[in-house]
Amino acid sequence: MSHDDSEFDFDVVRTNILNRSFATTYGEALKEWSYTGIVTEYEEPNEVCQLCGNTGLGSHFRIENIVTGRCLEIGSKCIQKYDVPVYGPDGQHLDSQDVQKRLLSDVDEVRRAHVREALAKLPERSAFFRDVYELKEAVPPLRLLQIFDALDKAKIPHRKSCFKVELRTKVARAELESLTERGFRSLSPALTSEQRRHWTRPQNPDAAKRESMKLWQAMQRRDKRKAEERLRQRS
């Protein structure tokens, strides 16, 4: 979704719109277009915006011309920057604030669907992770690393950036702070830029590893206790 303002080239935008529109002036032509609500997410942020030609996009948002039927896969910033019409459920023209909300919620929906699909493929022995994640649709750092591990082991394709990390509790924040560089790199795609700031490269990597291991073992013990409790309740 990244766009660098300096690279915008309005001539390219105008040509791309006019070449696929019925009207012959840019202002009229733009009215033929609207956002379709179709979002495609990619593994790597290497996609090109078909409106301005900018590169490095991780998501595409489809816009369509209702007169010519032509479509363009573009960046979210371009929808906002060039005022491509976005309509609400009742056909009302959304203002820029609502456009922003709508685009974010569409991306969120695609990501959640991706996560649900990946977790549904987990084998029975790690199905527990599916329940844990789906309960809140975000989990603490070490738990998410465990989930990534289970998905990797089962060779289930997944985009880490679609998962969410829960950092509200003290324990969760301690988990993040305890991560070694390797652990942090593995978790990083799922963290927001704000969340990433809670981690600093450990001064003493061995101590960080020990701390991480301690928290990891504590988590395993909690899991074991909970599993035993469930078994007791059933019998």
Which listed residue (17, 29, 30, 49) binds Zn ion by CB under 5 A? 49
Amino acid symbol at 67: V
Q: With contacts defined by CB under 5 A, how many residues of the chain interact with Zn ion?
A: 6
Query: To the nearest whole angstrom, how small is the minimum distance from the Cβ of residue 35 to Zn ion?
Result: 13
Which listed residue (30, 39, 52, 165) binds Zn ion by CB under 5 A? 52
Q: Which two tokens stand for residue 149?
A: 């591990």
Residue 47 or 175 having the CB closest to Zn ion: 47
Nearest position to Zn ion, beta carbon: 49
Contacts of 7 (CB under 8 A, 6+ apart): 52, 53, 54
Subset of residues 173 to 192 that bind Zn ion, contact rule: CB under 5 A: none
Query: To the nearest whole angstrom, how small is the minimum distance from the Cβ of residue 63 to Zn ion?
Result: 11
Contacts of 6 (CB under 8 A, 6+ apart): none
Subset of residues 55 to 94 that bind Zn ion, contact rule: CB under 5 A: 75, 78
| Calpha distance 133→145 (Å, rounded) | 12
Subset of residues 134 to 163 that bind Zn ion, contact rule: CB under 5 A: none
Please answer whether residues 33 and 64 qualify as being in contact, where contact means their C-beta atoms are separated by less than 8 angstroms: yes
Expressed in angstroms, the distance from the first to the final Cα of the chain is 52
Which listed residue (54, 146, 186, 212) binds Zn ion by CB under 5 A? 54
Stretch that binds Zn ion, among 42-50, 93-101, 144-152, 180-188 (CB under 5 A): 42-50
Amino acid symbol at 38: I
Instruction: Decide: helix, strand or coil at residue 41.
Output: strand
Task: Give the contact letters, 95-134, x = binds to Zn ion (CB under 5 A), - = no.
Answer: ----------------------------------------
| Calpha distance 57→41 (Å, rounded) | 9
By CB under 5 A, name the binding residues for Zn ion.
49, 51-52, 54, 75, 78
